[in-house]
Chain A
Amino acid sequence: MKHARLLTGALMALALAAPAAAQDDPVKVGFIYVGPVGDFGWTHEHDLARQAVEEEYGDAVETSFVESVPEGPDAERVMTQMALSGTDLIFATSFGYGPAVNNVAERFPDVAFEHATGYQQDHPNVSLYNARFYQGRAVIGHIAGHMTETSTIGYIASFPIPEVIRGINAAFIHAREVNPDVEFRIVWAYSWFDPAQEASAAEALIEQGADILMQHTDSTAPMSIAEDRGLYAFGQASNMIDFGPNAQLTAIIDNWAPYYIERVGEVMDGTWEAGNVWTGIGDGTVAFADFSDAIPEEVRESAAALRDRIAAGDYHPFTGPINRRDGSEWLAEGEVATDEALLAMDFYVEGITSELPE
């Protein structure tokens, strides 16, 4: 008797609550990461932003994440699983997730997808967001050009995609600007995260005379090697000062929190719409760790000035004249690169000696 009444009560409550449920249920937000959250680099920053979302909205939001998801079919499975379990918004935080994001988005038109650093936007529920890391790389290139004694800078790159090539070019142009003798030595690790390979690459670069390391891979291994050898390096994606207290000159820090908080808020209000944003230093998405005391005072000032000019929009890191590696003209005197050109960049600029792998 008592049970039956309880049951009816529950049913009534359910019937009453049903229309309101959409508003009272927490918004479910899923994140998929290409590396472990403890990489202290790229994925680490995305996870900090996820925590910031939780802090901002408290019980109104429920986040989940899956880490170390390889780019490819596994990513598609993970996102399908998230979509099936009622996730409202999915952040896919690696370039290579592109095809998977679009496949899953087609099957789940009610789920909002946010793809970091991608270019593929085949469905109205796929949004793209990216950060102008090349702005940060221009600043670290400027510092590296001043700091190198051997005029050789080692660069550990991941995959030959526009994002990475842009970073190399931006750093190179600004290193050359302050030091015409600068040479870049570039090693492709063909991985975003392989500490052993990154460590070996760092050593190979140091052996060939590099006294400053830059990396576009996500582990802290190159920073540890630089610290061991008494050389300098730049942190990637996250502040890596713990791994190179003497070695780290500064780090480019990705700050995704403002964007994530804004987009989750829009899903809550029902105002979310697919977009395509590309934010930089001026928006706070690209930030820096404290400039090391090892950098001379005047270099710290000129680097900060460069940073502030880029932030204010007074200066674009890709301003002509810039030639391609083969000597052909890319940007004429005073011409500024368009976003389309930057997003499709598939060549080194003039002065880089090595060839770009295909």
Chain B
Amino acid sequence: MDLSAIDPLVLAASLMIAATPIMLAGIGELISEKAGVLNLGVEGMMITGAITGFAIAVQTGNPYLGMIAAMAGGAALALIFAVLTQLLLANHVASGLALTLFGLGFSSLLGQPYVGVRPPRTFKLEIPVLSDIPVLGRVLFQHDLIVYISVIVVALVWYFLKYTRAGLILRAVGENHDAAHALGYGVVKVRFLAILFGGATAGLGGAYLSLVRVPQWTEGMTAGAGWIALALVVFASWRPWRVLLGAYLFGGIVVLQLNLQAAGVRVPVEYLAMSPYLITILVLVIISSDRARASLAAPGSLNRIFHASH
């Protein structure tokens, strides 16, 4: 066993990389849930984004066009969910699960011609002055563009929810859709947009895996990241910055597990693999333990079907 071989700074840098896909998917799901929609299709939207992004990047030779296509792909799948749940009033949970199953199958079909193909590479964005800072520079400022975008998205979502009128409307729709409707806000419209946003960021998270992280296309390559993203939103008790924190924590567990193994420590891999879910259950218990913590809890109208009957 040689723990000194694990450099905490390098660990921090690779933790940021490992956290990026779940952070992107998680922040999108947060917006969706803040608007009162529980979308269990995150895994499906991620993997659809992974293949559409990969395919377009290969076809055009431009990875950034691929990223945009991935967002469109994820949003397109989310659109199906939005139509089902908002216009046809289908059950959120069942539709979301169906979306995941459909996304996994559909992406394998789309991906057939792309197995074993090398995508065009993205470039590491070394922010000029900052990346030269001795310690922090290496940890924080020598990553792929998407890593920074994911943090910026979290910041924007935080600002949007806290300081903008539109953010307030979105939260109103999520907390009490009947009241929001009575005030004249378009509940269905707001939820449509929230679902589409969730699909786009999930798709981008998937493309980060297939275009940057691996980079390769394989069936089922998200390997459960979407479910971790869902757990992440609950863990974060629907607060944007906690999504960031949770993503680093969950991503950190994966990275740390591999690093400990490489350092020769015998790691109980199975327990670490289930730890994100265990931590989430723990958070749920804490949230529901007393009324004073009600502010941590889920949006009031989450997972309730809205039908404007009057």
Contacts and interface: CB of A to CB of B under 8 A. Distances in A.
B112 to A, nearest CB: 9
Interface centre among A44, A199, A205, A357 (most CB of B within 10 A): A199
A204 interface: yes
8 contacts: A40-B116, A185-B264, A186-B262, A195-B216, A196-B209, A203-B14, A207-B6, A354-B265
Contact of A207 (B209, B222, B259, B261): B259
A210 B261 CA distance: 13
B254 interface: yes
Given A353-B2, A355-B264, A190 B269 contact: yes
A172 interface: no
B269 A188 contact: yes
A194 interface: yes
A205 B264 CA distance: 11
Interface string B1-32: 11001110011001001100000000000000
Given A187-B261, A190-B269, A200-B258, A208 B214 contact: no
Contacts of A190: 269
A184 to B, nearest CB: 9
Given A187-B261, A204-B259, A224-B216, 10 more contacts: A194-B223, A195-B216, A200-B14, A200-B254, A201-B262, A204-B14, A205-B262, A207-B7, A208-B262, A210-B262
Interface size band for A: 35 or more
Contacts of A357: 266, 269
B107 interface: no
B214 A199 contact: yes
Closest 3 CB pairs of A and B: A38-B115, A354-B264, A38-B116
Residue of A39, A195, A196, A197 ringed by the most chain B CB atoms within 10 A: A196
Nearest to A41: B116
Main secondary structure of the interface of A (DSSP, over half): mixed
Contact of A209 (B5, B265, B266): B5
Interface of A: 36-40, 44, 68, 154, 185-188, 190, 193-197, 199-201, 203-205, 207-210, 219-221, 224, 242-243, 353-355, 357
Contact of A208 (B221, B223, B259): B259
A207 B261 CA distance: 12
Contacts of B219: 36, 68
Nearest to A152: B5
B263 A200 contact: no
Contacts of B264: 185-186, 353-355
B115 A221 contact: no
Contacts of B218: 36, 39, 193, 195, 219
B215 interface: yes
B263 A208 contact: yes
A199 to B, nearest CB: 5
Interface of B: 1-2, 5-7, 10-11, 14, 17-18, 115-116, 118, 209, 213-216, 218-219, 221-223, 254-255, 258-259, 261-266, 269
A158 B72 CA distance: 36
A187 B258 contact: yes
Contacts of B215: 224
B16 to A, nearest CB: 12
Given A36-B219, A220-B216, A243 B262 contact: no
Contacts of B223: 194, 196-197
B261 A186 contact: yes
A196 B221 CA distance: 7
Contacts of B14: 200, 203-204, 207
Given A207-B259, A355-B264, A221 B214 contact: yes
Q: In this complex, which of B261, B262, B265 has the most chain A Cβ atoms within 10 angstroms of its Cβ?
A: B262
Contacts of B10: 207
A357 B255 CA distance: 18
Given A208-B6, A219-B216, A185 B263 contact: yes
Contacts of B255: 200, 204
Contacts of A220: 116, 216
A68 B209 CA distance: 20
Contacts of B214: 195-196, 199, 219, 221, 224
A118 B262 CA distance: 28
Contacts of A37: 115
A38 B113 CA distance: 9
A53 B17 CA distance: 44
Nearest to A221: B214
Nearest to A202: B258
Contacts of B221: 195-196
A242 B115 CA distance: 14
Contact of A201 (B1, B6, B258, B265): B258
Nearest to B5: A208
A185 B263 CA distance: 7
Contacts of B261: 186-188, 201, 204, 354
Contact of B262 (A38, A187, A199, A242): A187
A185 B259 CA distance: 10
A325 B3 CA distance: 20
Contacts of A154: 262
B121 to A, nearest CB: 8
Nearest to A188: B261
A199 B216 CA distance: 10
Given A200-B18, A219-B216, A355 B266 contact: yes
Contacts of B258: 187, 200-201, 204
Q: Which of A36, A205, A353 has the most CB of B within 10 A?
A: A36
A210 B209 CA distance: 24
Given A68-B219, A193-B218, A195-B216, A204 B262 contact: yes
A190 B271 CA distance: 13
Contacts of A201: 258, 261-262
